[in-house]
Structure 1
Amino acid sequence: MARRRQLYEGKAKILFEGPEPGTLVQYFKDDATAGNGAKSGVITGKGVLNNRISEHLMLRLQEIGIPTHFIRRINMREQLVKEVEIIPLEVVVRNIAAGSIAKRFGIEEGTRLPRSIVEFYYKNDELNDPMVSEDHIIAFGWACPHDLEDMTSMAMRVNDFLCGLFSGIGIQLVDFKLEFGRLWEGDDMRIVLADEISPDNCRLWDNQTNEKLDKDRFRRDLGNVREAYQEVARRLGILPEAGNGGDMKGPETMQ
């Protein structure tokens, strides 16, 4: 890691210059944050689990024709991805009321929504990632109407596929956040799915008990965060090599 040039460090990942032009190495950290950094800690082995889970889901999505930035997993904590121009928007798909939508509209958490809802948020920590409309997005030049159409269409396809995949292993996909990027190939540009898909940015509840198997366990001080992520990986059939050993070890979990 020390020999590579670091390009960016976020809350949960570090991006390094890739081995070939147009590629990046995405490193998954054990750091956990909530409330745009208001709460922080370390969840031992979280990065390993998220790397494997995101790899699995990105590959499954590629199989149904969703274009992504993912190329291949390099090791327990790193994956090779295509370099993209990230669109400064978080695309959130909601199937069941939880988190902010429950608070905003006074809906009891756990209520199934009449239909899946797509929301857009402007990626800016200093502004607390405000919710924005399509008019805001187009007016401020963050994306054009065609980009928005592509992102919305892909988000709904991802939702349909993941709902079925998780339902098959006894998990409800409550909601999730996606990020997209512009992939330039010569003069041609296309929108692709970027970032990651993991319990860090999905709400996942057990079908029978509604037990939370995602980052809400950290946000709400429910404990057993790593165990919840491990359960998701176990049900997907992708627990890391060497079980709980290998690179799972790291700093002890702290609040």
Structure 2
Amino acid sequence: MVRRRQLYEGKAKILFEGPTPGLLVQYFKDDATAGNGTKKGVIAGKGVLNNRISEYLMTGIEELGIPTHFVKTLNMREQLVKEVEIIPLEVVVRNIAAGSLAKRFGLEEGTRLPRPLLEYYYKNDDLNDPLVSEEHILAFEWATSDELNDIYTYALRINDFLSGVFRGSGVLLVDFKLEFGRHYEEDEKRVILADEISPDNCRLWDMKTSEKLDKDRFRRDLGQVEQAYQEVAKRLGVLPEFGASDGTDTNRSENIS
């Protein structure tokens, strides 16, 4: 067992220093929040399930030739990831009207959009993550024009990949959020996918019944939240064999050499 220094704690994950410079250990918590932290709770086993789901999807994205921060899974709740400088943008890809988009434009939830819609939000909880344009991003130098081009291209390719994966599991990918970071290696800097991909940041509906299989069940007090996350993992073929809770200590990281 090796105890490592905690570097950052967010709403759903904790980052610890890794075994070597440039690598971090990402720990998945069971904590759940909504409304930028105004609603808080715990979804039992969520961290274990999100770890497995994100590993599976990140690996597939990497195989497409899109660089990610994922290196390998360490245990049921932890991953080894590359250290990145997070670009302060939440990139939302929408295929079907739901959530804030439906409210803003008076659309009925479930309305299929004529084409995938990309939206950018400034990543700042104190400002409630405001919707921003490319002009804002460039003017405030949150990202360069080249970085935005990479983000746009990657986001659409990831959408195609995820839509196909979930469709094969009988699930509609309604929308999802991505985060990107700058990865520095020697003299090279490039944009890579960071954070996670899971029911925490994807809206997922059953194709036949439109039943919600994501964190909207927590946001909207629909119940059976744990079961929805388990169902997604089951359909993707990554449901842990011995349950979704393992009692991993949040202050330790093992087998990370």
Q: Structure 2: how far apart are the matches of 1:171 and 1:239? A: 16
Deviations 1:132-180 (A, max 9, x none): 0000000001001100000010000000011011001100000000000
Q: Does the CA-based 8 Å contact 1:183-1:191 persist in structure 2? A: yes
Q: RMSD over aligned Cα, in angstroms?
A: 1.2
Q: Structure 2: how far apart are the matches of 1:144 and 1:18? A: 29
Give the match for residue 110 of structure 2: 110
SS in 1 for 2:211: coil
Give the structure-1-normalised TM-score.
0.95
Give the match for residue 239 of structure 2: 239
Deviations 1:165-211 (A, max 9, x none): 10011000000000000011112101000000000000000000000
Give the match for residue 217 of structure 1: 217
Matched, 1:52 2:52: yes
Note the C-alpha offset of 1:64: 1.0
Q: Structure 1: how far apart are the matches of 2:245 and 2:161? A: 32
CA 1:128–1:245: 2 relative to 1, 3 Å: closer
Matched, 1:84 2:84: yes
CA 1:133–1:244: 2 relative to 1, 3 Å: closer
Note the C-alpha offset of 1:229: 0.3
Note the C-alpha offset of 1:3: 2.1
Note the C-alpha offset of 1:93: 0.1
Q: Does the CA-based 8 Å contact 2:182-2:192 persist in structure 1? A: yes
Once the two structures are superposed, the pairs formed by residues 1-255 of structure 1 within 5 Å of their partners are: 3-244=3-244, 246-247=246-247
SS in 2 for 1:121: strand
SS in 2 for 1:138: helix
Note the C-alpha offset of 1:66: 1.1
Note the C-alpha offset of 1:53: 0.3
Runs of 4 or more consecutive aligned structure 1 residues displaced over 3 Å after TM superposition = 243-248
CA 1:90–1:244: 2 relative to 1, 3 Å: closer
Q: Structure 1: how far apart are the matches of 2:15 and 2:2? A: 12
Q: Structure 2: how far apart are the matches of 1:10 and 1:36? A: 11
Q: Does the CA-based 8 Å contact 1:96-1:113 persist in structure 2? A: yes
Identity %: 74
Deviations 1:11-45 (A, max 9, x none): 00000000111000000000000000110001110
Letter in 1 for 2:200: D
Q: Unaligned 5+ residue runs, structure 2?
A: 249-257
Give the match for residue 251 of structure 1: none
SS in 2 for 1:221: coil
Q: Structure 2: how far apart are the matches of 1:8 and 1:60? A: 27
Give the structure-2-normalised TM-score.
0.94
Q: Structure 2: how far apart are the matches of 1:90 and 1:69? A: 16
Q: Structure 2: how far apart are the matches of 1:223 and 1:42? A: 12
SS in 2 for 1:60: helix
Q: Structure 1: how far apart are the matches of 2:134 and 2:95? A: 20
How many pairs were matched up?
Answer: 248
Note the C-alpha offset of 1:245: 5.7
Q: Unaligned 5+ residue runs, structure 1?
A: 249-255
Q: Structure 2: how far apart are the matches of 1:7 and 1:210? A: 39
Q: Does the CA-based 8 Å contact 2:49-2:244 persist in structure 1? A: no
Q: Structure 1: how far apart are the matches of 2:73 and 2:2? A: 19
Note the C-alpha offset of 1:241: 3.1
